[in-house]
Amino acid sequence: MSSMRVRLTRRWPEVVEDRLRGLCDLAINADDRPLTRDQLIAALQENDVLGATVTDRLDTAVLSAPNRRCRLIASFGVGYNHIDTEAARAAGIAVTNTPGVLTDATADIAITLMLMAARRAGEGERLLRAGQWPGWSPNSLLGTQVTGKTLGIIGMGRIGQATARRAAFGFGMKIFYFSRTRLDLLEESVLGATHVKDLKAMLGHCDFVSMHCPASPATRHLLNAETLAALPPHAFVINTARGDVIDEAALAEALASGRIAGAGLDVYEREPIVHEALLPMENVVLLPHLGSGSQETREAMGHCAVDNIEAFIKGTVLPNRVV
């Protein structure tokens, strides 16, 4: 076992923690509460590797604190916008992530949100659990059919493509996508997908729009008052990407005014805080960041993170280095 010290900021799946114990001097977060800023700084000062998650805000102030020992941040997740990558680079800290392993689980949640929002499933369950369902009637809780509708995908990476496949082959949906990277022509043909360069023009054709773009300054509030206004009034917005790709205040206003029909959200601008105007809305499905939340996926994410840590301990190439 290596003498390198590894500090996990949250509990990881037990099988993953057990694997790590055989590789290093491991310190876990027994109570599984997010570390404070001072605790993060101390962790960087006392450990060679920090096993971080999306709940850790590793900004310039944290990463530039003096007497750092840490030389690797192995992030448990595909997104790394919680880490100031330029500050990490300046501090000489490598950063890795866990891409690929959560693709299917997140695409499944995107489709789940689409179906729940369209068919008013959340609203119906709340009615039933409250003992207020009077029984079946021809006009009660009428929703929108998903099959055969048009889906606009913003960001056609691994998860966007997996969502498109489910929508196209499972529900016969017509696919448009807005993405800086275009699929090859064969894949477009198989999916029946059309690449568009004008976001607002695409939104005007969408019955549903699903967010799958990474978080960056360029994508922050990509859906805002102006772009939401381009959607038809029967459209639904789905977000399993990152919370800040949507202006939540603008979304709440569009939903309240009836400018769009509904939304399904798994991520939020200020997690775990949700914009207060969204909470009472019946036409919004709100999930607590379940995108990668299957046992199989979380274990795969953990093992991917450990692969990076093990490579660091052995001094070999980091498999998923982003900094």
Same domain, yes or no, for 48 and 32?
A: yes
| Residue 6 clears pLDDT 70, i.e. is over it | yes
The partner residues of 25 in beta bridges, in order of sequence, read 5
Which range marks the domain in which residue 40 is found?
5-101+295-314
The pLDDT mean for the chain works out to 96
Same domain, yes or no, for 170 and 309?
A: no
pLDDT at position 139 is 95
Q: What is the pTM of this model?
A: 0.93
CB 118 within 8 A of CB 143: yes
239-243: average pLDDT: 96
The answer as to whether 321 is a domain residue is no
CB 171 within 8 A of CB 146: yes
Same domain, yes or no, for 16 and 133?
A: no
Residue among 221, 271, 299, 303 flagged as catalytic: 271
Distance CA 209, CA 244 (A): 16
Same domain, yes or no, for 66 and 170?
A: no
pLDDT at position 3 is 87
Can 82 be counted among the known catalytic residues? no
| Cα 59 to the center of its chain, rounded Å | 20
The answer as to whether 320 is a domain residue is no
Number of domains in the chain: 2
pLDDT at position 190 is 94
The answer as to whether 257 is a domain residue is yes
Residue 144: both structure tokens together: 């929108």
Can 205 be counted among the known catalytic residues? no
How do residues 95-124 score in pLDDT, each as one tens digit? 999 999 999 999 999 999 999 999 999 999
The answer as to whether 69 is a domain residue is yes
pLDDT at position 267 is 97
Same domain, yes or no, for 96 and 163?
A: no
63-82: average pLDDT: 95
Distance CA 104, CA 321 (A): 22
Distances (CA, A) of 144 to 125, 135, 170, 281: 17, 20, 16, 17
Same domain, yes or no, for 120 and 265?
A: yes
| Residue 135 clears pLDDT 90, i.e. is over it | yes
How do residues 141-172 score in pLDDT, each as one tens digit? 999 999 999 999 999 999 999 999 999 999 99
The answer as to whether 323 is a domain residue is no
Here the CATH number for the domain that contains residue 58 is 3.40.50.720
Same domain, yes or no, for 187 and 130?
A: yes
Scored b (16 or more CB within 10 A) or e, 136-174 reads eeeeeeebbebeebbbbbbbbbbbbbbbbbbbbeebebb
How do residues 207-234 score in pLDDT, each as one tens digit? 999 999 998 899 999 999 999 999 999 9
Residue among 82, 289, 303, 321 flagged as catalytic: 289
Residue among 120, 158, 212, 242 flagged as catalytic: 242
Distances (CA, A) of 247 to 153, 244, 252, 315: 17, 7, 9, 42
Same domain, yes or no, for 114 and 213?
A: yes
pLDDT at position 2 is 75
Same domain, yes or no, for 89 and 182?
A: no
pLDDT band at 1 (very low <50, low <70, confident <90, very high): low
Can 271 be counted among the known catalytic residues? yes
Same domain, yes or no, for 68 and 133?
A: no
Same domain, yes or no, for 137 and 275?
A: yes
The answer as to whether 191 is a domain residue is yes
Same domain, yes or no, for 107 and 136?
A: yes
The answer as to whether 60 is a domain residue is yes
Distance CA 263, CA 239 (A): 8
